[in-house]
Chains A and B, each alone.
Chain A
């Protein structure tokens, strides 16, 4: 089979699987449905592994759908383009879907009868959306798969209908993301009206021609840039567009959280980087400096908001959700540097983070399964019996803090070093965010699984989302955790370790990052032409400062966690807490109107920041 044929096949396989499961699911018994879903998910992993292996490290696989290859640089068709980063992210999504399907074998209180098979069918549709978004080389096609991802994710988030909170979370998720998607469509319309093209490469080339013909940079390009990126930025939960994420992640079923936090949000960052690079990084786009400063500012803000909000959480899933916001900020910083090194760091970081974060959500699912609670305070010491679960949870927390040699640590080290070239203070953000988020999760782990420290006193004045009174996601609480619910998180953590230990992964992603930033190569290879070889791949391996900073953030995390555990109970409202956390927490009101207001404010600010720098 041609390499080019693998790209559409990677989207078609899960779509077919979803249809098959929806048809046969109502007749098959539960094990049959699970086996079928696992087989389809595994088939797509195989397809994407083959694609990854066959994509040249410094090149791309290009597939013109329906055979509409371009003539004279123009085509009416849709193109899929895979470089190592796009194919890698699609592969990551497929692997996580497979992990989630296996995790949910014995776990999920899945409805049967006429709704049998609907949950795995939705998972496969979600996978098709993510893979399509990662592989497409067409702006409108990206919008379609972005919407597919969204529509399915909203339904999966609201899955537990017996409780009001999931429905509210899904509603906030759906409305904020849809609003942003409409803005993206508006931006696509502007670009289409100017260029008559929808493909990323074609729009980019047409904008360059427009500039070469002597037209100066005008408002249309700036406005289109902000509008088109609204969708991916909201999906990536960039501050101040991040409010939907903790609301949705806190209430979605744990297996769904593994996908949302592990790869869907990261696809937003990927979309920002890809669209900027191919469409807007040329002569007809925006100057690199203006884009870099704007996106860096958004990244730093997101990282800090996520970290500061993560620390005081006691609802474990909300804590993990804010930790995702913090890490997304770091990924965005890496991508915003607009150089191969920063992007390589982010790519490695995303791969490692997916393993660690999905494992942590999976282990939280074990707690929910057994105790019907994900409240750090209420569960104090209760999970001492789950030794293995606790051990894995602590390992996950340390990985989140950037402990070498985990993949998260390697990604952090590479991105940190790249960021240090642009601002000497940026590595401090990486260390702080890793320490706070890893420390918060570690603190929760020590309390819940170790029973360390005094039981935290209830403070009625500190309004916080507790994690009590959650619906267990199965019908038989108190059973032993099923094997897949521990095995899958353990394998995910092993994957996180492998990203940091196997030199091949970092090297491949670094070469992919060099190809990703090679805009001329992308345009030439997509539209027909001989691409010049991409620039040299950056180094993506451990350095002494990287290891030391990783150890530093881990030590800080351990220090913060033990200090918090040892502290006398009831002294939770220090001055610093009142100044930093409380006002920020008030902004997370849960009110949809507020979220939409912040969406408009964020876009207006981005527009103003870009205009001011032109």
Chain B
């Protein structure tokens, strides 16, 4: 197919799909109405389990099985990236070079790194109480480490990044989630049932299994994202085709 033929074909078909989608959208319930069948049920169910952050209740309790699948996708992606970005037979590694850095940039990074770590930790720890949680906090934690790369260079990042430990932590946390579900199964309440003590509403020790799963996801996401980015950064910074200058 020539370029223009392909474009015409695509645009014609896409126009049909777009028209259909717009027609369908006009039949959706109006915006901002009072009828929220799922929302009402989810809020009631979350409050009954002493979970202040209803999103976390949906993610880690009511639809925890979906989240188990999503978290496995991240785990699988990290493993897949490890395989696809491994050192090929015709590739070698070179040492990352030290980069010149402005003192102000260095100061910025050195100040922000611990603050970002703290924010990430807070987001994970309070996932059952306030907006945030394992996924969001985990990404913030992983971002914090990479401030070292942005504000200094790759060698600094490598020094503060315990890659081998994070690799294991990623797999362990992924397995922990699947294993936590077995508690409910062993107690006869069903897989991933929230059978832990529910605690007091709006306290750190509330929501039972939600807080535990939330923490496991925080560890998995933080370490998974660091490992994932490490594979890509290695490709970009360190790995060279044999024959290129080292």
A binds B: yes
Interface of A with B (CB < 8 Å)?
2, 4-5, 8-9, 11-12, 15-16, 18-20, 22-23, 63-68, 74-78, 111, 114-115, 118-119, 121-122, 125, 128-129, 132, 138, 140-141, 144-145, 147-148, 151-152, 154-156, 158-159, 161-162, 167, 170, 186, 190, 192-198, 218-220, 222-224, 226, 587, 589, 591, 593-594, 596-597, 600-601, 603-605, 607-608
Provide the B54-76 mask, 1 if CB < 8 A to any CB of A, else 0: 00001001111110111011011
A72 to B175, CA, bound (A): 35
Per a CB cutoff under 8 Å, which of B64, B84, B175, B191 touches A63? B191
Q: Which residue on A lies nearest to B191, using beta carbons? A: A8
Q: Is B42 in contact with chain A by the CB < 8 A criterion?
A: yes
A144 to B59, CA, bound (A): 13
A607 to B181, CA, bound (A): 41
- Closest chain A CB from B75 CB (angstroms): 7
A78 to B178, CA, bound (A): 16
- Closest chain B CB from A181 CB (angstroms): 11
Q: Is B166 in contact with chain A by the CB < 8 A criterion?
A: no
A471 to B170, CA, bound (A): 32
Contacts of B6 in A (CB 8 A): 593-594, 597
Report whether B38 and A196 are in contact in the complex, using a CB–CB cutoff of 8 Å.
yes
Contact (A23, B175) CB under 8 Å given A64-B190, A141-B66, A604-B16: yes
- Closest chain B CB from A518 CB (angstroms): 25
Report whether A16 and B179 are in contact in the complex, using a CB–CB cutoff of 8 Å.
yes
Report whether A161 and B84 are in contact in the complex, using a CB–CB cutoff of 8 Å.
yes
Report whether A196 and B62 are in contact in the complex, using a CB–CB cutoff of 8 Å.
no
Q: Which residue on A lies nearest to B80, using beta carbons? A: A155
Per a CB cutoff under 8 Å, which of A76, A121, A604, A608 touches B63? A76
Provide the B172-203 mask, 1 if CB < 8 A to any CB of A, else 0: 10111011011011001111111000000000
Contact (A77, B63) CB under 8 Å given A9-B185, A19-B172: yes
Q: Which residue on B lies nearest to A155, using beta carbons? A: B80
Report whether A66 and B191 are in contact in the complex, using a CB–CB cutoff of 8 Å.
yes
Contacts of A115 in B (CB 8 A): 82-83, 86
- 20 pairs, A vs B, C-beta closer than 8 Å: A8-B190, A12-B178, A15-B178, A19-B171, A22-B75, A65-B190, A66-B64, A74-B37, A77-B62, A122-B83, A125-B72, A141-B65, A148-B72, A151-B77, A155-B76, A156-B80, A159-B83, A194-B29, A594-B1, A597-B9
Q: Which of B23, B24, B164, B179 has the most CB of A within 10 A?
A: B24
A230 to B152, CA, bound (A): 46
A601 to B12, CA, bound (A): 8
7 tightest Cβ-Cβ pairs between the two chains A and B: A155-B80, A19-B175, A196-B37, A8-B191, A144-B69, A22-B171, A223-B24
Size band of the interface chain B makes with A: 35 or more
Report whether A145 and B80 are in contact in the complex, using a CB–CB cutoff of 8 Å.
no
Q: Which residue on B lies nearest to A602, using beta carbons? A: B13
Q: Is B14 in contact with chain A by the CB < 8 A criterion?
A: yes
Per a CB cutoff under 8 Å, which of A19, A64, A66 touches B174? A19
Q: Which of B45, B75, B81 has the most CB of A within 10 A?
A: B75
- Closest chain A CB from B246 CB (angstroms): 20
Report whether A66 and B194 are in contact in the complex, using a CB–CB cutoff of 8 Å.
yes
A68 to B184, CA, bound (A): 12
Which residues from 149 to 175 on chain B have a C-beta closer than 8 Å to any C-beta of chain A? Answer: 164, 167-168, 170-172, 174-175
- Closest chain A CB from B177 CB (angstroms): 8
Contact (A122, B80) CB under 8 Å given A19-B178, A66-B184, A144-B69: yes
- Closest chain A CB from B174 CB (angstroms): 5
Report whether A148 and B76 are in contact in the complex, using a CB–CB cutoff of 8 Å.
yes
Report whether A607 and B17 are in contact in the complex, using a CB–CB cutoff of 8 Å.
yes
Q: Which residue on A lies nearest to B10, using beta carbons? A: A597
Report whether A63 and B27 are in contact in the complex, using a CB–CB cutoff of 8 Å.
no
Q: Which residue on B lies nearest to A13, using beta carbons? A: B178
Contacts of B69 in A (CB 8 A): 129, 132, 141, 144-145, 147-148
Q: Is B107 in contact with chain A by the CB < 8 A criterion?
A: no
Contacts of B72 in A (CB 8 A): 15, 18, 125, 128-129, 148
Report whether A162 and B89 are in contact in the complex, using a CB–CB cutoff of 8 Å.
yes
Report whether B76 and A125 are in contact in the complex, using a CB–CB cutoff of 8 Å.
yes
Contact (A67, B80) CB under 8 Å given A140-B66, A147-B73, A607-B16: no
- Closest chain B CB from A441 CB (angstroms): 30
Report whether B175 and A118 are in contact in the complex, using a CB–CB cutoff of 8 Å.
no
Contacts of A167 in B (CB 8 A): 84
Contacts of B98 in A (CB 8 A): none
Report whether A154 and B86 are in contact in the complex, using a CB–CB cutoff of 8 Å.
no
Q: Is B236 in contact with chain A by the CB < 8 A criterion?
A: no
A247 to B175, CA, bound (A): 33
Report whether B58 and A76 are in contact in the complex, using a CB–CB cutoff of 8 Å.
yes
Q: Which residue on A lies nearest to B62, using beta carbons? A: A76
A115 to B62, CA, bound (A): 35
Q: Is B34 in contact with chain A by the CB < 8 A criterion?
A: no
Q: Is B20 in contact with chain A by the CB < 8 A criterion?
A: yes
Report whether A219 and B20 are in contact in the complex, using a CB–CB cutoff of 8 Å.
yes
Q: Is B95 in contact with chain A by the CB < 8 A criterion?
A: no
Report whether A119 and B83 are in contact in the complex, using a CB–CB cutoff of 8 Å.
yes
- Closest chain B CB from A170 CB (angstroms): 8
A66 to B190, CA, bound (A): 5
Report whether A67 and B189 are in contact in the complex, using a CB–CB cutoff of 8 Å.
yes
Contacts of B66 in A (CB 8 A): 78, 138, 140-141, 144
Contacts of A223 in B (CB 8 A): 20-21, 23-24
Contact (A23, B29) CB under 8 Å given A66-B184, A159-B83: no
- Closest chain B CB from A211 CB (angstroms): 13
Q: With contacts A22-B79, A111-B86, A218-B27 known, what are 4 further pairs, Cβ within 8 A?
A: A78-B66, A129-B72, A161-B86, A600-B17
- Closest chain A CB from B90 CB (angstroms): 7
Report whether B191 and A15 are in contact in the complex, using a CB–CB cutoff of 8 Å.
no
- Closest chain B CB from A23 CB (angstroms): 5
Report whether B193 and A67 are in contact in the complex, using a CB–CB cutoff of 8 Å.
yes
- Closest chain B CB from A285 CB (angstroms): 15
Q: Is B115 in contact with chain A by the CB < 8 A criterion?
A: no
